[in-house]
Amino acid sequence: MLKAILGRKVGMTQIFGESGRAIPVTVIEAGPCTVTQLKTAARDGYEAVQIGFGSKKIKNTTRPELGHLGHPLPQLEAQKKRAQAVRARARQEARERGESGLEADATNEEAEQQTQAERTAAGRRRARAASSALGPFRVLREVKAEDGATPTVGDVVKADIFKAGDFVDVTGTTKGKGFAGVMKRHGFHGGQRTHGQSDRMRAPGSIGAGTTPGRVFKGTRMAGKMGNDRRTILSLEVIEADPERNLLVVKGSIPGANGGIVMIRKHLER
Amino acid sequence: MSTLIDAVEAKHFRQDLPEIESGDTVRVHAKVVEGNKERIQVFEGVVIRLNGTKLNAHFTVRRIAHNVGVERTFLLHSPRIDKIEVVKHAVVHRKNLYYLRGLTGKAARLKERR
């Protein structure tokens, strides 16, 4: 149905192929992903499917995201204070009428119980299970659907969209290398180590000509921030796909550190 | 490490091989492909190095062939190994027996352990 799935890079190992050769492989925990939104050309200007992967706590989720996923919104601090003030005033008035405060509370018991369900963790869990709310997910990403496929919100995507022998493109964020010199960043060769050189070993050398043009050209390769970029590795062979264990094994390496979020898409023939 | 990685590796481990140690004299029956035929080649020598863990475990066997020292490294769990015979054990005081490379003839013998 979908052409893509989100996953977590678990790590690399090697296994033996049919001919007995050792194959380097990357193990990915792929899915399960849930379809959270459908974008249509009519409403959004383009066709896409939004899917969510992983989980996070409600308290770490923004209210816009909770609303988007169909959760009841937690009370704001201001709302809590206002409700508290209303209850306090009710007690005060009851006391002035000569009744005990406890009885006034008892009349509010029903309303109280409702908020109780909202307030306790177990109550919130029950409320969530009963509702059609999704997630909240660690990541939400948009992917394309297969031509002719009609996914619906709430559908679960698993690793079985791929099978052994398929080719996939894997997108992830590369490991950050910090501020790197030209040898590491651009593969420059550095300077001479001998013949009387000092502190030229990793230097970039000349960065341009003299009076003409009298400036350094834009795009000249120099030292700078390296890594932590979105990168896609094309055409990796799928060695194993197991939807039960959410397992996807691809041949070769993929971007990012272990534990990083990656997107696996069907390879486009070009 | 990760259970998911262990699960992927699990079915590739071989249980049918004897335990080998540094200093052992072994006969490794390796499958070799010549043209389009496959046959078994025996490589007999002393294990001078054990390295790696899990599926990556490998060992190096050294022998003297036609007066030339030859070393060959095998992946322990490789399906290209038909079988391993341990011919004899030896008393050795280190894991990596690189000192054998500089020795020839009588000096390169190891004391047998039974």
pLDDT tens profile A138-191: 999 998 887 777 788 888 888 888 888 889 999 999 999 999 999 999 999 999
| Percent with pLDDT over 90 in chain B | 25
**B16-108 classified as CATH 3.30.1490.100:** no
Domain ranges of chain B: 16-108
**What residue spans of B1-114 are helical by DSSP H?**
3-10
Contact residues on chain A for B79, CB-CB shorter than 8 A: 16, 20
| Percent with pLDDT over 70 in chain A | 87
d(CA B66, CA A44): 77
Q: What does the pLDDT read at residue A102?
A: 56
| Contact criterion met (CB below 8 Å) for A112 and A105 | yes
Mean pLDDT rounded to a whole number for chain A? 85
Residue A97 burial (10 A CB sphere; 0-12, 13-18, 19+): exposed
Quickly count: other Cβ atoms within 10 Å of residue A185's Cβ: 18
Contact residues on chain B for A27, CB-CB shorter than 8 A: 2, 4-5, 8
d(CA B62, CA B67): 12
In the three-class reduction of DSSP (H, G, I as helix; E, B as strand; rest coil), residue A43 is classed as helix
Pick the residue from chain A with its C-alpha nearest to B53: A13
pTM (predicted TM-score) = 0.77
Contact residues on chain A for B54, CB-CB shorter than 8 A: 13
* Mean per-residue pLDDT, A77-87: 89
Q: Is A29 on the interface with B (CB under 8 A)?
A: yes
Q: What does the pLDDT read at residue A270?
A: 59
ipTM of the complex: 0.79
Of the candidates A6, A65, A1, A18, which has an alpha carbon nearest to the alpha carbon of residue A240? Answer: A18
Q: What does the pLDDT read at residue B62?
A: 92
Distance from CA of B60 to the nearest CA of A (A): 17
Peptide bond into A213 cis (omega under 30): yes
Strands A224-226 and B37-51: unpaired
Q: CA A166 → CA A172, A236, A265, B11, distances in Å?
A: 19, 8, 11, 22
Q: Is A166 on the interface with B (CB under 8 A)?
A: no
Q: What does the pLDDT read at residue B1?
A: 54
Pick the residue from chain B with its C-alpha nearest to A240: B8
pLDDT tens profile B69-108: 899 999 999 888 888 999 888 888 888 999 888 888 888 7
Amino acid type, A216: V
B61, two tokens: 């066997």
Quickly count: other Cβ atoms within 10 Å of residue A236's Cβ: 20
Of the candidates A33, A248, A247, which has an alpha carbon nearest to the alpha carbon of residue A157? Answer: A33
Q: What does the pLDDT read at residue A3?
A: 83
Q: What angle do CA A12, B1, A258 make, to 5 degrees?
A: 45
User: Which residues, including other chains, have CB under 8 Å from residue A184's CB and lie 6 or more apart?
Assistant: A177, A226
Q: CA A72 → CA A135, A172, A196, B65, distances in Å?
A: 12, 32, 72, 78
Name the phi and psi angles at A71, rounded to 5: -85, 150
CB-closest option in A13, A20, A22 to B5: A13
Of the candidates A120, A130, A115, A136, which has an alpha carbon nearest to the alpha carbon of residue A67? Answer: A136
